[in-house]
């Protein structure tokens, strides 16, 4: 049993830690005080932190050695303050107190301090709660009063506005393939991820597979990061051993035995030696401490039961080492009779949610159209910021507009770029036209619409530059045209008519033997000038059915010709240095 003095609730806001952080060398503000004297924290809201950026701030608390408790009106001596636990700190921040173990002695030093430091991971407003034991004396009687205090800290978003994840690339043309990486890791606390990747895909991995965004648009990506923890919710004491018996408060009287009952409480100790001390139950061997909400984030943990004795030393009733096996109910049976159980649950401790966007810009659509008359190539999309032209893959110098006049056959390509920096292309193959000479009466002709015409008759200029020419006699007619695409095409036509004799005045004579024949015959010619000639056989439509080269010996030709063709009339041409000499024959 123990003596009691009702001490009203002290509105003390004291901030500290168990002293394991890496934020040393805080400096107290000796101007921190209030009147009438009362334990005070300065400031109650430290400066704002920024997510993703290093942060450091000092807080000061004033612990007057003597003050009047406003709840009871009693004047008490402030002997000791012990910080037992801290909850609600943003992930990435920690606190270190100026006194080892978070134990302060106001009778020796009225000012204490603590430093908050680290790099906060997520933006938000955080309420930090601090549990302490305020040790005071009233009329020489020691009293320990558990208290809870709060502090408000605001973490504003970082410059990027997203401290949960990174991704690359953020934009692209036509389609984008991006990779993602979660930034928040609450280890050793369990951390889970829920991605909505904006394209119909989700993931629970910190680094999801690369994602494809297939078309123009804005894709919203969200990530919810949840950091959980194991919570000690309840401790039940169902029986104790007799270690409490035999001291001043509960004497062991001969023939009577132990008198009274213990006043049990427990101390929870973490892996670094930090402790949490529960409230004390009066005169009982059974007790329940519920609604504890103690985060077990620094294992291993042990739980020790004590009997509180105001005069003699507190009696230890047994220690239970809590297995690191997660949530569940654990049963206690230690030290020869101390029994009970404890309940551990898994709960969300902190959740972060961030969103960002991937923008896919459109690729310009280009289509080349050719002018039917001039052959000029143009794309109707003339709103782009730049154009580049290519011929068979090579850049065309000086071509920088939406239209271009081709200078010849080949594969012409235009590439256009829009204001987003996205490029598209279109290509057109320029093919030179086919050309055939037609005959109507004594007029030879080709299609109109070409840029230029140049006619020859038996290798000499025919004196016309239009789409037709009047026949000047049997012989070889040729025309060369150019079109708007820079193409140059030549066509030939062998004209043979029965009523038009071979031109007179030439010294060259051509004879065929035998006539008629079966397609095998000899060509005899005299008066030739070149060392070799071309012998060409055509039918009456002008189609060449046989051609060969023959050697000339001192101006004379003797050439054997053999071809296969249907019966009918044929023309044999001997082409000597551009001059055409003609003879006719019949094949049976």
Over range 230-243, report the average pLDDT: 94
Q: What's the fold here for domain 438-495?
A: Immunoglobulin-like (2.60.40)
Residue 488 has pLDDT above 60, yes or no: yes
Over range 184-199, report the average pLDDT: 89
The superfamily in CATH containing domain 40-156 is: Immunoglobulins (2.60.40.10)
Over range 11-24, report the average pLDDT: 44
Residue 569 has pLDDT above 70, yes or no: yes
Looking at domain 364-429, its CATH class is mainly beta
Tell me where in the chain the CATH 2.60.40.10 domain(s) lie: 40-156, 509-587
| DSSP single-letter state for residue 407 | -
Q: 473 or 334: whose pLDDT is higher?
A: 334
Q: Give the pLDDT confidence score for residue 340 in this predicted structure.
A: 96
User: 121 pLDDT band (50/70/90 cuts)?
Assistant: low
Tell me where in the chain the CATH 2.60.40.150 domain(s) lie: 164-362
Q: Give the pLDDT confidence score for residue 154 in this predicted structure.
A: 86
Q: 3-17, 114-128, 385-399, 421-435: which has the minimum mean pLDDT?
A: 3-17
pLDDT in tens, 499-558: 334 443 346 788 888 888 999 999 999 889 899 999 999 887 778 899 999 999 988 999
Q: Residue 332's CB: how many other CB atoms inside 10 A?
A: 21
522 token code pair: 């000899």
- CA atoms of 25 and 58, how far apart (whole Å): 9
Residue 6 has pLDDT above 60, yes or no: no
Over range 561-585, report the average pLDDT: 87
- Greatest mean pLDDT among 34-48, 335-349, 537-551 lies in 335-349
Q: Residue 380's CB: how many other CB atoms inside 10 A?
A: 11
**pTM strictly above 0.85:** no
Determine the length of the chain: 588
534 touches 510 (CB < 8 A): no
Find, among 525, 521, 463, 455, the residue nearest to 493 by Cα: 455
User: 348 pLDDT band (50/70/90 cuts)?
Assistant: confident
Over range 392-402, report the average pLDDT: 87
> Which CATH number fits the domain 509-587, given the four candidates 2.40.110.10, 2.40.30.20, 2.60.40.420, 2.60.40.10?
2.60.40.10
Find, among 357, 124, 53, the residue nearest to 223 by Cα: 357
Q: Give the pLDDT confidence score for residue 326 in this predicted structure.
A: 83
What value does the mean pLDDT of the chain take?
85
C-alpha separations of 10 from 132, 214, 460 in Å: 11, 63, 123
Q: 339 or 501: whose pLDDT is higher?
A: 339
Show the CA angle centred on residue 353, arms to residues 350 and 356, nearest 5°.
155
Q: Give the pLDDT confidence score for residue 7 in this predicted structure.
A: 31
- CA atoms of 141 and 262, how far apart (whole Å): 19
Over range 411-438, report the average pLDDT: 84
Over range 307-331, report the average pLDDT: 91
The DSSP string of 485-535 is TS-EEEEEEEE--TTSPPPSS-S-EEEEESSSBSSEEEEEEES--SSEEEE
Integer-rounded Cα Rg, in Å, for the chain is 53
Over range 337-356, report the average pLDDT: 91
Over range 25-44, report the average pLDDT: 88
Residue 277 has pLDDT above 80, yes or no: yes
User: 467 pLDDT band (50/70/90 cuts)?
Assistant: confident
User: 309 pLDDT band (50/70/90 cuts)?
Assistant: confident
User: 354 pLDDT band (50/70/90 cuts)?
Assistant: very high
Q: What are φ and ψ of residue 180, in 5° steps?
A: -125, 150
pLDDT in tens, 51-109: 778 999 998 888 889 988 887 888 889 998 888 877 667 778 888 888 888 889 999 99
317 touches 303 (CB < 8 A): no
User: 237 pLDDT band (50/70/90 cuts)?
Assistant: very high
**What percent of the residues of the chain are helix, what percent strand, and what percent coil, each to the nearest 5?**
0, 50, 50
Q: Give the pLDDT confidence score for residue 162 in this predicted structure.
A: 77
Q: What's the fold here for domain 164-362?
A: Immunoglobulin-like (2.60.40)
C-alpha separations of 86 from 14, 81, 132 in Å: 11, 14, 9
């Amino acid at each position: 049993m123990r003596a009691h003095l009702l001490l009203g609730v002290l509105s003390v806001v004291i901030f500290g830690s168990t002293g394991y952080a890496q934020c040393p060398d805080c400096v107290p503000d000796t101007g921190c005080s209030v009147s009438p004297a009362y334990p005070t924290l300065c400031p109650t809201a430290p400066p704002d932190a920024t997510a993703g950026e290093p942060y450091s701030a000092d807080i000061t608390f004033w612990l007057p050695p003597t003050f009047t408790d406003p709840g009871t009106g009693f004047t008490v001596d402030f002997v000791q303050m012990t910080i037992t636990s801290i909850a609600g700190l943003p992930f990435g921040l920690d606190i270190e107190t100026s006194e080892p173990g978070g134990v302060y002695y106001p009778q020796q030093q009225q000012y204490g301090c603590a430093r908050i430091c680290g790099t906060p991971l997520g933006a938000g407003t955080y309420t930090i709660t601090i549990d302490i034991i305020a040790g005071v004396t009233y009329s020489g009687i020691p009293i320990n009063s558990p208290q809870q205090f709060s502090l408000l800290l605001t973490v504003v978003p970082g410059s990027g506005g997203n401290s949960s994840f990174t991704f690359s690339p953020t934009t692209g043309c036509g389609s984008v393939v991006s990779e993602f990486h979660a930034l928040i890791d609450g280890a050793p606390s369990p951390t889970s991820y829920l991605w909505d990747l904006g394209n119909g895909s989700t993931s629970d991995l910190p680094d999801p597979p690369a994602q494809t965004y297939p078309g123009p648009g804005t894709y919203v990506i969200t990530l919810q990061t949840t950091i959980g923890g194991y919570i000690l919710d309840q401790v039940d004491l169902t029986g104790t051993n007799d270690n409490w018996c035999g001291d001043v408060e509960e004497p062991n009287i001969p023939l009577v035995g132990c008198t009274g009952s213990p006043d049990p409480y427990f101390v929870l100790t973490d892996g670094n030696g930090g402790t949490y001390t529960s409230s004390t139950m009066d005169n009982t061997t059974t007790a329940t401490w519920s609604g504890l909400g103690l985060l077990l984030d620094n294992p291993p943990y042990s739980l020790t039961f004590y009997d509180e004795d105001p005069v003699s030393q507190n009696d230890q009733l047994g220690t239970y080492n809590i297995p690191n096996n997660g949530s569940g109910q654990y049963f206690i049976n230690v030290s020869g009779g101390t029994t009970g159980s404890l309940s551990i649950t898994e709960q969300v401790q902190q959740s972060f949610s961030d969103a960002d966007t991937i923008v896919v810009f459109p690729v310009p659509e280009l289509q080349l159209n050719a002018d039917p008359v001039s052959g000029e190539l143009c794309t109707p999309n003339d709103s782009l910021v730049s154009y580049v032209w290519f011929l068979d893959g090579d850049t065309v110098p000086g071509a920088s507009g939406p239209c271009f006049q081709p200078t010849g056959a080949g594969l012409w390509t235009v590439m256009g770029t829009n204001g987003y920096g996205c490029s598209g292309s279109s290509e057109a193959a320029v093919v030179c036209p086919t050309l055939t000479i037609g005959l109507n009466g004594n007029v030879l002709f080709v299609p109109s619409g070409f840029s230029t015409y140049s006619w020859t008759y038996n290798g000499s200029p025919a004196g016309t530059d239009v789409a037709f020419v009047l026949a000047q006699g049997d012989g070889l007619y040729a025309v060369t045209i150019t079109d708007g695409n820079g193409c140059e095409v030549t066509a030939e036509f062998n004209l043979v008519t029965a009523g038009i004799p071979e031109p007179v005045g030439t010294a060259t004579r051509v004879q065929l033997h035998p006539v008629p024949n079966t397609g095998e015959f000899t060509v005899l010619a005299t008066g030739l000038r070149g060392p070799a000639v071309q012998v060409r056989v055509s039918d009456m439509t002008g189609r060449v059915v046989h051609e060969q080269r023959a050697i000339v010996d001192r101006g004379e030709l003797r050439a054997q010709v053999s071809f296969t063709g249907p019966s009918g009339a044929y023309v044999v041409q001997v082409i000597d240095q551009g001059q055409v000499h003609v003879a006719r024959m019949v094949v049976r």
